[in-house]
Structure 1
Amino acid sequence: MGVTVEFCGEEFAAPEDRPLTIGRVADVEIDDNPYLHRVFLQVHHEHGLWWLTNVGSTLTATVADTKGLFQAWLSPGARIPLALEAFTVWFTAGPTTYDFDILVEDTPFVSVETAADLEPEDSAGQTTVGRVSMTPDQKLLVVALCESFLRTTYAGGGQIPSSADAAARLGWTVTKFNRKLDNVCQKIADAGTRGLHGGPGKLASNRKARLVEHALSTRMVTEADLAMLPEAAPRG
């Protein structure tokens, strides 16, 4: 059973006799970003299984299978077994959010997707995404924040737009955008997702990054949802 990490079109095979390191100065060099740990994550083989471990001190990572059926939040010191055939990992360092893929050969488990309850094509009002129901405007906000990642065909890095830029993209005022962002974060936090609040009653400063990681890892939004966005204004 072998493991391969794919980042920005490059493939890195994990050796069984030592960890494959991922970070700013590592086997998989993510970026020369001072906010990123020199070694943040590592893939290693132990007790007959492959593991992904967060060896950093401050950053967290969101890990999910490619079908959105499994999601984990990997805090410093935590690790998970790579027991499914494919994973995507997202993390944010400073202003940049990165993602990379992990492919596992001959896994002991496979993910089983059950039939989803589809929304009627002519349904109006709220759309149910997992346990969270969102209004059309709330989903549109999430799509706008995830746009650069949804338009990218390979794993790498991307910038999450500022509130002002995202509001302008949607033709909203910043006040309207921030109000709806508050509502979306509150809904998802109430459903049990961590990282959207800095503490009781206090929204986390990096809530947009955490929201984007959650939305992509759970497939709350997909490439097909880009059609919801208004056409971008021509430059120049």
Structure 2
Amino acid sequence: MHSKVTVVFCGEEYAVSPQQGLTIGRSGDVEIDDNPYLHRTFLVVSHENGFWWLSNTGSTLTATVADDQGLFQAWLNPGARIPLAMPRLVVWFTAGPTTYDFEVHVASPAFASVSAEPVRDALRDDTGAATVGRVNLTPDQKLLVVALCEPFLRRREAGTSQIPSSAAAAERLGWTLTRFNRKLDNVCQKLADNGTRGLHGGVGKLATNRKARLVEHALSTKLVTEEDLDLLDTSRAEAEAGAAR
């Protein structure tokens, strides 16, 4: 007996046949978007050797796969595949200016998740820095990540969003663009130093899609959540009050 697998995107549910599988892309069984940066067939859900799998059949794009508790994360390169071994997984990927996400529901997964204390509710040191796992984010760094993730945190279902430009995010925070870019550099470097892949394009060279990778990582690990959206309004009000003085 095969377990039931369903893909959910933009409110639509797609049941996956063990015999035929399911393709996801610009012209797949799940038509994501008419986006020229997106592969015609990018991701494939299939059943093989008693397991359900998610495969990246594209040639350039990567995908971030995580459970809904932020305890598991995988970066799916072209040609790679992972077993769908948890009840609910969320998949993020970016093609051109747009970032997409969809859910994969497995009725009877091969493995069960083990409950754990949320790592994001960690202690703060004397400077107010929040500890997330092994990464310490200062209040300003946390604000920057929330500003970039805001369109996704305000959505109620899987779908599509565009990451704010640096200028738009800086304005949202009441910062100068120079300040925003400097802190973006710091956040990317800090996460890269702690093992997050995709934030550097090489030695001393930041990847051009670093914001997309940062957003995918932050959402998939619960680095920021809907609860953090209030920080944006507080920060903006403080910035305006400081400018008025």
Q: TM-score, normalised by structure 1?
A: 0.95
> Could you tell me how far apart the structure 1 residues matched to 2:104 and 2:205 are?
34
Q: Of 150, 166, 174, which aligns to 1:171?
A: 174
Of 141, 160, 163, the residue aligned with 1:138 is: 141
Moved more, 74-83 or 114-123: 114-123
Contact 1:87 1:101 in 2 (8 A): yes
Shift of the alpha carbon at 1:119?
3.9
> Which residue matches 1:180?
183
Aligned equivalents of 2:136 and 2:67: distance in 1? 22
In 1, are the aligned partners of 2:5 and 2:107 still within 8 Å (CA)?
A: yes
Alignment check: 8 A CA contact 2:63 2:75 kept: yes
1:5-53 Cα shifts (integer Å, max 9, x gaps)? 0000000011010120000001000000000000000000000000000
SS state of the match for residue 64, structure 1?
Answer: strand
Matched, 1:54 2:40: no
Partner amino acid, structure 2, of 1:43: V
The residue number in structure 2 matching 1:229 is 232
**Pair 1:119–1:192, CA change in 2 (3 A):** closer
Instruction: Provide the C-alpha distance between the structure 1 equivalents of 2:202 and 2:164, rounded to a whole number of angstroms.
Output: 24
Root-mean-square deviation (CA, aligned residues, Å) is 1.6
Tell me the equivalent position of 2:240: none
Work out whether residues 69 and 113 of structure 1, in 8 Å CA contact, stay in contact via their aligned partners in 2.
no
Matched-pair contact (CA < 8 Å) for 1:24–1:33: yes
Code of the aligned partner of 1:71 = Q
Moved more, 109-118 or 172-181: 109-118
1:106-125, aligned counterparts within 5 Å? 106-116=108-118, 118-119=121-122, 125=128
Residue of 40, 44, 51 corresponding to 2:46: 44
* CA distance, structure 2, for counterparts of residue 116 and residue 59 of structure 1: 30
Question: Are 2:124 and 2:130, in contact at CA under 8 Å, matched by a contact in 1?
Answer: no
Q: Which of residues 212, 215, 228 is equivalent to 1:212?
A: 215
Q: Does the 8 Å CA contact 2:67/2:220 hold for their aligned counterparts?
A: yes
**Percent of aligned pairs with the same amino acid:** 69
Residues 150-195 of structure 1: CA distance to partner in whole angstroms, max 9, x if unpaired?
0000000001000000000000000000000000000000000110
Q: Distance in 2 between matches of 1:149 and 1:116?
A: 20
Deviations along 1:182-212, one digit per CA (max 9) or x if unpaired, are: 0000000000011000001110000000000
- 5+ residue gaps in structure 2? 238-245
Shift of 1:2: 1.1
- The equivalent residue for 1:157 is 160
Contact 2:44 2:54 in 1 (8 A): yes
Contact kept in structure 1, 2:102 and 2:158, CA below 8 Å:
yes
Name whichever of 120-129 and 90-99 sits farther off.
Answer: 120-129
- C-alpha distance in structure 1 between counterparts of 2:222 and 2:111, whole Å: 21
**Alignment check: 8 A CA contact 1:196 1:211 kept:** yes
- Secondary structure at the residue paired with 2:109? coil
- The CA deviation at 1:121 is 8.5
Say which of 196, 199, 210 aligns to 1:196: 199
Cα distance in 1 for residues equivalent to 2:4 and 2:60: 29
Which TM-score applies when normalising by structure 2?
0.92
2:241 corresponding residue in structure 1? none
